[in-house]
A = this chain, B = another copy of it.
Amino acid sequence: MYEGIVQDLIDELGRLPGVGPKSAQRIAFHLLQAEPEDVRRLAEVLIQVKQRVKFCTVCFNVSEEEQCRICRDPRRDPSVICVVEEYKDVAAIERTREFKGRYHVLGGAISPIDGIGPDQLRIRELIMRLADGTVQEVILATDPNLEGEATATFLTRNLKPLGLRVTRLASGLPVGGDLEYADEVTLGRAFAGRRSADG
């Protein structure tokens, strides 16, 4: 539809997740009218991010240093490790401000259909982190879906014999949700996990 480079830009933008052809065109036109300096800064950040971002050698979170900000922070409790599938899960948990321990990013979940078994995940690295006895509790925060549950089950079986406390995030009704619209599995879990009402 457009000439050369404008169409190239629309095509490249359209490859980004969640950006359809209409959005790609809108963003492209915005960039055409934007200050050259602003567009150059975006291009520069794109290049820099690929050059500078590494993965933490301890927990495999994204990091610009050998170790990520959380692993470097002496105030974070080294006796609790929260195991997540992806580094975006770290951000989600950090936003709650509920967790003061460290993380371990598996890099996915067990999914035989996608050819992902325990060896494709950073499970060996997790077990090595537990060797020196510092860690007392491992919280399994994999996704509450088939693959996440399979991964949690596998980890539980392998970590329990090490004499650690192994826990799993609670399943139940989402806060602000509507009981009427909860699916039966969630509602069933909410019943099974019911607690004594206080207050």
Tell me if A40 and B49 are in contact (CB < 8 A).
no
In chain A, residues 33-78, which have Cβ atoms closer than 8 Å to a Cβ of chain B?
36, 38-50, 52-53, 62-64, 68-69
Most chain B CB neighbours (cut-off 10 Å) among A23, A27, A43: A43
How many copies of the polypeptide does the oligomer hold? 2
What is the minimal beta-carbon distance from A20 to any residue of chain B, in angstroms? 10
Closest partner residue, chain B, to A91 (CB atom): B1
Check: A157 CB closer than 8 A to any chain B CB. Answer: no
What is the minimal beta-carbon distance from A8 to any residue of chain B, in angstroms? 5
Tell me if B27 and A17 are in contact (CB < 8 A).
yes
Tell me if B50 and A46 are in contact (CB < 8 A).
no
Q: Which of B2, B27, B91, B94 contacts A62 (CB 8 A)?
A: B2
Tell me if A9 and B94 are in contact (CB < 8 A).
no
Q: Which residues of B contact A4 (CB under 8 A)?
A: 52, 64
Bound form: Cα–Cα A87–B144 in Å: 47
What is the minimal beta-carbon distance from A122 to any residue of chain B, in angstroms? 15
Tell me if B19 and A27 are in contact (CB < 8 A).
yes
In chain A, residues 13-38, which have Cβ atoms closer than 8 Å to a Cβ of chain B?
13, 15-19, 23, 25-32, 36, 38
What is the minimal beta-carbon distance from A58 to any residue of chain B, in angstroms? 14
Tell me if B6 and A32 are in contact (CB < 8 A).
no
Check: A195 CB closer than 8 A to any chain B CB. Answer: no
The 10 closest A-B pairs by CB, nearest first: A43-B46, A43-B43, A36-B50, A12-B42, A17-B30, A9-B49, A16-B27, A43-B47, A9-B45, A39-B50
